[in-house]
Structure 1
């Protein structure tokens, strides 16, 4: 594995300068700031990531105000009790994308968030305090206990609320293969542990957030 400094130089060769690279780093929240995010915003962010998966992000962005109205602000305790009548109404609601399987995830993920609230005080508290050295454990929990939060959906959801962590974009995966961390898209537990170890190493070496390391890896592949 090359050092972060070397990877930044590689990225800068495509982007112009180190300052240009720094300007492209994603915004992350401190644990205290993330812990203050209300759980209705957590459910909204989960839902947005799920509906964006395999669909035009621009369409979801343009309809998002309608989603907020249709789901009455995404209060988890409201939607954990989604009724058949609620579902029927939502399937007819032109303010949203009427995908039944994805609509049902709002109920299932609301149940998860209510369970996390019971256990931790809030879902945001659970997420904010989850150690970065076990980011794969957080992703695994969301995949197993949530609905349609596997693949990159959970990663994009976490990035959107400001949680530090990586996103397996196409270029990040290419960079990890180039660096010898993995040999293909990391889906197995052993491959994910290798990715965790690599990010831990780069973080210890540089002090940079995992999200910044992820973006540097993507930028080191080349121009868009």
Structure 2
């Protein structure tokens, strides 16, 4: 049996390969999952994604299974506990942003009916299917990620620069950046 051809960024690490094969680039329309990816991406700022993936279950436990309604209500005691949790990234600004982002997330839900409707409206509800032949062609940002980033910031979100948003667009399947030879395209 021949080895599956994958996007090169994940090859050689079983956790990365599983994430690539089962999640990355798959369209997500569920608000809970969209918030999970948003929270994880904001903590990833300045770090590698594999670092976050390896800590994902610790984040899940620390942040009440990514329940944005609970996170929006976190008090100083919970913030202090998070800053002592060695299982996550203990960055005060990122922890505080998780709380303010949860609050902003719910405001978007109130305005649009769901975060998914808001987010996917930027692509008219359709996945952008890039047809790159190498990872060198995959951008770090696009005019669309710039636009979404700017709009999220206007709505009070933190740690949502264009690079983070483009990575989030990839993770949640808003864009399909699997290279053409990748087995997931079959």
> Which aligned segments of 4 or more residues in structure 1 are displaced greater than 6 angstroms?
none
Q: Does 1:77 align with 2:69?
A: yes
- 1:96 shift after superposition: 0.9
Q: CA RMSD in A?
A: 2.5
**Matched-pair contact (CA < 8 Å) for 1:47–1:106:** yes
TM-score by length of 1: 0.55
Whose RCO is larger (CA < 8 A, sep 6+)? Answer: 2
**Matched-pair contact (CA < 8 Å) for 1:67–1:96:** yes
Distance in 2, matches of 1:78 and 1:56, equals 27
Distance in 1, matches of 2:113 and 2:82, equals 30
- 1:58 shift after superposition: 2.5
Distance in 2, matches of 1:147 and 1:215, equals 30
Q: Counterparts in 2 of 1:44-63, with a 5 A limit?
A: 44-63=36-55
Q: Does 1:159 align with 2:157?
A: no
Distance in 1, matches of 2:112 and 2:90, equals 33
The gaps in structure 1 that reach 5 residues or longer are: 1-25, 165-210, 217-224
The gaps in structure 2 that reach 5 residues or longer are: 1-23, 125-142, 181-186
TM-score by length of 2: 0.65
Give the number of aligned pairs: 139
Q: Deviations over 1:7-41 (max 9, x none)?
A: xxxxxxxxxxxxxxxxxxx7353xxxx43x1x222
**Matched-pair contact (CA < 8 Å) for 1:143–1:154:** no
Higher helix share: 1
Q: Does 1:122 align with 2:114?
A: yes
